[in-house]
Amino acid sequence: MERVTIVPPYVADEGRYEDMEYRRCGKSGLKLSAVSLGYWHNFGTYDQYETARAVTRRAFDLGITVFDLANNYGPPAGSAEETFGRLMREDMHPYRDEMVITTKAGYTMWPGPYGDFGSRKSLLASLDQSLKRMGLDYVDIFYHHRMDPETPLEETMGALAQAVKSGKALYVGISNYSPEKAAEASALLKDMGVHCLICQSRYSLLDTHIEKAGLFDTLQKCGMGATAFSPLAQGLLTGKYNNGIPEDSRAAGESVFLKKENVTPEIIEKVVALGKMAARRGQTTAQFALAWVLHQPVMTSVLIGASRVSQLEENVGALKNLSFTKDELKEIDQILKK
């Protein structure tokens, strides 16, 4: 006889808001948990549902209120939203008003000329599909996932404004935008009576290109918040590659995001040195890296993924020490310049 595992009904931890930090997102009334849970990987059809369920439950119990998705997350594309929809039905629906649920559109999602980039047709059709997959009436934040080199920005921002005015999104944001386009997008939305709430960008100790390009200054001037994805540089800043490439790691496979050739001796030397600093602070390398991202004044939240509950708990532990001395910041700069 087949053994059936019965999972008890989920009841959220009553102390879930005690230790999490909540930060106001730019010039808005919305506060975000300093740590967001991303569903980019590990939450698709190819992954274990019960693991996704355990991670999501624990995230909410730890005070995480931001759950970040996109139409193409999986794999396969769309399946992360389907998994999340099941989680909402089975566990999280009593807590919908305590959650900030986000999704995005802009990367290739379906064949033909309308399943990609930033046309009005593409974005609004994608939002409808996302809501259906997740079983939601609205999302809290709807992002344009990447700049479109061909569609007029007025059209793309008009679609985001329509998403808000139709009630299918409470706020809108942008992702992977240059400082110049972010400022232009913000101004266009303002003229349409909608505030551009937030910009999501890749940012970590090993990748500070957006800061150098002036994006932080632009966001502050526009009253926008920021959230960082890949803050652990695809796992490099966990220290897991310090002694070689593990067989079960992302770099060992066919990942398009972290390749073997990117795991260089020079990078590992920096990670090892940063790890020594982390140890002096009583942190793991991952906690140190997340704390550094969150110490930036413009940063509202840092986006993490998790393939197991222990990984999630370790990362949230970064919040115990987010301050850096001037000497520590100077030492970090010296390490990164090597």
**Each residue of 231-248: pLDDT tens digit?**
999 999 999 988 766 655
Place of tokens 């939305």: 189
Instruction: Give the confidence band of 70 by pLDDT, cuts at 50, 70, 90.
Output: very high
Spatial CB neighbours of 256, under 8 Å, sequence gap ≥ 6: none
**pTM of the full predicted structure?**
0.94
Query: Span 25-235+293-321: which CATH code?
Result: 3.20.20.100
Domain ranges (residues) in the chain: 25-235+293-321
Structure-block tokens of residue 167: 């009630």
Q: Give 193-219 pLDDT, tens digit per residue.
A: 999 999 999 999 999 999 999 999 999
Question: What are 331-335's contacts with CB under 8 Å, separation 24+?
Answer: 331/277, 332/205, 332/274, 332/277, 332/292, 335/270, 335/273, 335/274, 335/277
The closest of 56, 279, 301 to 201, measured between CA atoms, is 301
| Span 265-312, pLDDT tens digits | 999 999 999 999 999 999 999 999 999 999 999 999 999 999 999 999
